[in-house]
């Protein structure tokens, strides 16, 4: 299994026979090298969306039409995406689980907001979400943009994820200190991968607090387009 950071909150996860793109925001992502676009998208089998904000899904309609990969996420967001010609999707609800061949994907609650900008006005497109992704003997918790939630205890009880991909740059999401709290209080991660940090000046620029706060966990500061293998 490979987890490849595409910068900000975007990931490519190669698991079982699937190539999952998580919130693939590439064009205006200041941390993503434009010459790596083809490499990032090649073989994509599904596009998982946590919510509708532009730094997560602005490129999704184009990528979905180009690759033929279905968009996956909250029903209303998928429904809105399917208005773009060539885009198909799998829309479902929080607590629901779908199978992508041998990979299980469960849609989870998050605490944030979710909207898209249409003709200068905000349109709300269902709720914000996270994912549990299971395959190859691993379960990955993709937090999406969220604060710490008591729901996380339920997520751990039901899914027991060993890998946490946590949005923890602060300002828009929980910060590193709160991510340490969540990891200790609710989970038993073997590996934690921070994201949604370093992209902009208002976000935390280092995962040092996370690394120091979780001495018994392998906290990996990812490098863009460099695979992490499990």
DSSP code per residue over 92-133:
E-TT-EEEETTEEEEEEE-SS--EEEETTEEEE-S--EEEEE
What tokens were used for 118? 């249409």
- Judging by beta carbons within 10 Å of its beta carbon (0-12, 13-18, 19+), is residue 190 exposed, middle or buried? middle
List C-alpha distances in Å: 20 to 40, 122, 188, 213. 10, 28, 24, 30
For residues 24 and 49, the answer to whether their CB atoms sit within 8 Å is: no
pLDDT score for 104 = 98
For residues 15 and 103, the answer to whether their CB atoms sit within 8 Å is: yes
- pLDDT tens string, the chain, 230 residues long: the values are 999 999 999 999 999 999 999 999 999 999 999 999 999 999 999 999 999 999 999 999 999 999 999 999 999 999 999 999 999 999 999 999 999 999 999 999 999 999 998 888 998 999 999 999 999 999 999 999 999 999 999 999 999 999 999 999 999 999 999 999 999 999 999 999 999 999 999 999 999 999 999 999 999 999 999 999 99
CATH of the domain spanning 2-229, picked from 3.30.1330.10, 3.30.450.40, 3.60.15.10, 3.40.630.30: 3.60.15.10
For residues 152 and 160, the answer to whether their CB atoms sit within 8 Å is: no
Q: How far apart are CA 224 and CA 6, in angstroms?
A: 5
pLDDT score for 65 = 96
Domain locations along the chain: 2-229
Q: Which residue has the tokens 């500061």?
A: 221
For residues 72 and 133, the answer to whether their CB atoms sit within 8 Å is: no
Instruction: Estimate to the nearest angstrom the gap between the alpha carbon of 183 and the chain centroid.
Output: 17
Q: Which residue has the tokens 């429904």?
A: 79
For residues 170 and 204, the answer to whether their CB atoms sit within 8 Å is: yes
pLDDT score for 117 = 87
């Amino acid at each position: 299994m490979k987890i490849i950071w595409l910068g900000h909150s975007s990931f490519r996860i190669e698991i079982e026979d699937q190539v999952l793109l998580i919130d693939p925001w590439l064009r205006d992502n200041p941390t993503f090298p434009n010459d790596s676009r083809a490499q990032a998208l090649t073989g994509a089998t599904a596009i998982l969306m946590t919510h509708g904000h532009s730094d997560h899904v602005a490129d999704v309609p184009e990528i979905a039409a180009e690759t033929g990969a279905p968009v996956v996420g909250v029903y209303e967001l998928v429904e809105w995406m399917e208005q773009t010609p060539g885009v198909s999707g799998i829309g479902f609800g929080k607590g629901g689980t779908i199978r992508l061949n041998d990979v299980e994907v469960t849609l989870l609650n998050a605490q944030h907001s979710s909207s898209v900008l249409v003709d200068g006005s905000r349109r709300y497109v269902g709720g914000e979400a996270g994912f549990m992704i299971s395959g190859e003997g691993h379960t990955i918790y993709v937090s999406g943009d969220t604060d710490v939630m008591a729901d996380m205890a339920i997520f751990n009880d039901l899914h027991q994820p060993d890998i946490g991909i946590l949005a923890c740059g602060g300002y828009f999401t929980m910060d590193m200190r709160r991510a340490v709290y969540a990891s200790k209080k609710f989970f038993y991660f073997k590996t934690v991968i921070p994201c949604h940090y370093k992209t902009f000046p208002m976000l935390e620029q280092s995962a040092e607090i996370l690394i120091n706060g979780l001495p018994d966990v392998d906290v990996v500061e990812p490098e863009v387009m460099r695979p992490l293998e499990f």
